[in-house]
């Protein structure tokens, strides 16, 4: 019996050493150490042994098992290490390969226009103010000299959420809110860019959502000529250094007097073309001196403070500047459109 066990040990270890895969080693383990293996078989025959020999044989059998198990563990370790090495060798990384280029996005044309205007005004000492897009009727209309039942409210078809809240129809409520914060003490110099909403049917020149950027200055001794000088600076920044502007009388409830502002055509220089519809001038924004009622409602004394305000549609500026013929391009997220505004 002793002989048989020793022989099994030698045989098994030799097989383990010759094995070349983890599967092969596992098969050997099952074959020799399994419940139906030869060692178990030998141990079953122990009943025939004398009481003296039995423990010796048991100990020997355990030793043989251990030896085989050790050989298997060692072989497994060796094979696993080899496998890792093989894997590493087959998956070497070629560090000399050039990297694939990173795709850079483009700024949206509306963002470009807003940021250009912001840069210009920040340089002139203005701050940028923002406010909620869901606004109360008070800030959107009343504080801007548009009491309930005022006919001019019809100029702006609104998305009402409740009787007293609506999607703001203009960025002017930000002016009213900011003026309140200053508690009657100037100077105030702000611009307010943001999205506004009106109940319009979408077509090439109308969108129910669009962007405005407004400016407001309130201080002592502010006059129309300050307004004109500021607007000239904006027009030249957006449309070229040799642009002129002209002011035409108009009406807005929150300014008095109010003006529409035209810029001399950047395409034909004033001779007349399709962009300016033959007039040599292009309307770009509305402006005026802040209405005394608006100053009063926001806590400023209209006898000592004056102000001017202006507002423009960002889409209109972008359409003129980039020759875009349909406002819907700004909102349909077509990559072929936005990619054209990539800057290096
Ligand atoms: Zn023209």
pLDDT of residue 281: 93
pLDDT of residue 305: 95
143 — pLDDT class (breaks 50, 70, 90): confident
Averaged pLDDT, 225-252: 92
Are 289 and 321 found together in one domain? Answer: yes
Compute, in angstroms, the gap from residue 274 CA to the centroid of ligand 1. 6
Are 77 and 149 found together in one domain? Answer: no
Compute, in angstroms, the gap from residue 278 CA to the centroid of ligand 1. 6
The domain tally of the chain equals 2
Q: Last residue of a domain, which of 91, 120, 145?
A: 91
Are 140 and 21 found together in one domain? Answer: no
113 — pLDDT class (breaks 50, 70, 90): very high
Is-contact 330 338, C-beta < 8 A? no
The distance in angstroms from the start CA to the end CA of the chain is: 87
The better pLDDT of the pair 302, 2 is held by 302
- 261 lies in a domain? yes
Asked if omega into 335 is within 30° of 0 (cis), the reply is no
Compute, in angstroms, the gap from residue 244 CA to the centroid of ligand 1. 13
- 99 lies in a domain? no
Are 39 and 165 found together in one domain? Answer: no
pLDDT tens per residue, range 285-335: 999 999 999 999 899 999 999 999 999 999 999 998 898 989 999 998 888
Averaged pLDDT, 100-108: 84
Are 144 and 285 found together in one domain? Answer: yes
Residues 6+ away with beta carbon under 8 Å from 90: none
Compute, in angstroms, the gap from residue 38 CA to the centroid of ligand 1. 103
Q: Last residue of a domain, which of 58, 91, 124?
A: 91
pLDDT tens per residue, range 145-199: 888 888 767 666 888 999 889 999 999 999 999 999 999 898 999 999 999 999 8
Are 85 and 124 found together in one domain? Answer: no
Are 75 and 169 found together in one domain? Answer: no
222 — pLDDT class (breaks 50, 70, 90): very high
123 — pLDDT class (breaks 50, 70, 90): very high
Are 117 and 83 found together in one domain? Answer: no
Least confident of 38-47, 253-262, 326-335: 38-47
- 271 lies in a domain? yes
Residues annotated as binding site for Mg(2+)? 256
Are 4 and 143 found together in one domain? Answer: no
Q: Last residue of a domain, which of 49, 65, 91?
A: 91
94 — pLDDT class (breaks 50, 70, 90): confident
- 278 lies in a domain? yes
Identify the domain containing residue 229 by its residue range: 109-339
Are 123 and 24 found together in one domain? Answer: no
Output the DSSP codes for 110-162: HHHHHHHHHHHHHHTT-EE----SEEEHHHHTGGGT--TT-GGGGGS---BSS
- 187 lies in a domain? yes
Q: Is the pLDDT of residue 138 over 70?
A: yes
In the chain, what percentage of residues exceed pLDDT 70?
98
- 98 lies in a domain? no
Are 298 and 226 found together in one domain? Answer: yes
Residue 9's φ and ψ, nearest 5 degrees, are -60, -50
pLDDT of residue 155: 61
pLDDT of residue 154: 67
- 102 lies in a domain? no
pLDDT of residue 344: 55
Q: What is the CA radius of gyration of the chain?
A: 42
144 — pLDDT class (breaks 50, 70, 90): confident
Compute, in angstroms, the gap from residue 322 CA to the centroid of ligand 1. 14
- 243 lies in a domain? yes
Are 165 and 307 found together in one domain? Answer: yes
Residues annotated as binding site? 256
Q: What is the mean pLDDT of the chain?
A: 89
DSSP state of 99: P
Averaged pLDDT, 45-63: 82
Averaged pLDDT, 131-152: 87
CATH number for the domain spanning 251: value is 3.30.930.10
CA distance 272 to 265: 8
pLDDT of residue 190: 95
């Amino acid at each position: 019996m002793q002989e048989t066990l020793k022989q099994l040990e030698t045989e098994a270890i030799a097989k383990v050493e010759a094995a070349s895969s983890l599967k092969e080693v596992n098969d050997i383990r099952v074959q020799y150490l399994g419940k139906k293996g030869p060692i178990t078989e030998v141990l079953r025959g122990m009943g025939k042994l004398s009481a003296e020999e039995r423990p010796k044989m048991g100990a020997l059998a355990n030793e043989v098992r251990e030896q085989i198990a050790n050989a298997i563990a060692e072989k497994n370790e060796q094979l696993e290490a080899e496998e890792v090495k093989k894997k590493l060798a087959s998956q070497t990384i070629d560090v000399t390969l050039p990297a694939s280029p990173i795709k850079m996005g483009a700024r949206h044309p509306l963002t470009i226009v807003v940021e250009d205007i912001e840069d210009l005004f920040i340089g002139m000492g203005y701050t940028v103010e923002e406010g909620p897009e869901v606004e109360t009727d008070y800030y959107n209309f009343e504080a801007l000299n548009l009491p309930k039942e005022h006919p001019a409210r019809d100029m702006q078809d609104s998305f009402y959420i409740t009787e007293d809240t609506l999607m703001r129809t203009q960025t002017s409520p930000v002016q009213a809110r900011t003026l309140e914060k200053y508690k009657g003490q100037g100077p105030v110099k702000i611009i307010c860019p943001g999205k506004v909403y009106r109940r319009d049917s979408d077509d090439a020149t109308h969108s129910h959502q669009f962007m405005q950027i407004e400016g407001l200055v309130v201080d002592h001794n502010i006059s129309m000529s300050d307004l004109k000088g500021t607007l000239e600076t904006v027009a030249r920044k957006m449309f070229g250094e040799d642009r002129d502007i002209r002011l035409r009388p108009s009406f807005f409830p929150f300014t008095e007097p109010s003006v529409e502002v035209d810029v001399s055509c950047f395409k034909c220089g004033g001779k007349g073309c399709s962009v300016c519809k033959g007039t040599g001038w292009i309307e770009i924004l509305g402006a005026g001196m802040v209405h005394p009622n608006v100053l009063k409602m926001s806590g400023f004394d209209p006898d000592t403070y004056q102000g001017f305000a202006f507002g423009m549609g960002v889409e209109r500026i972008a359409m003129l500047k980039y020759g875009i013929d349909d406002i819907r391009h700004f909102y349909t997220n077509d990559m072929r459109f936005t990619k054209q505004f990539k800057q290096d």
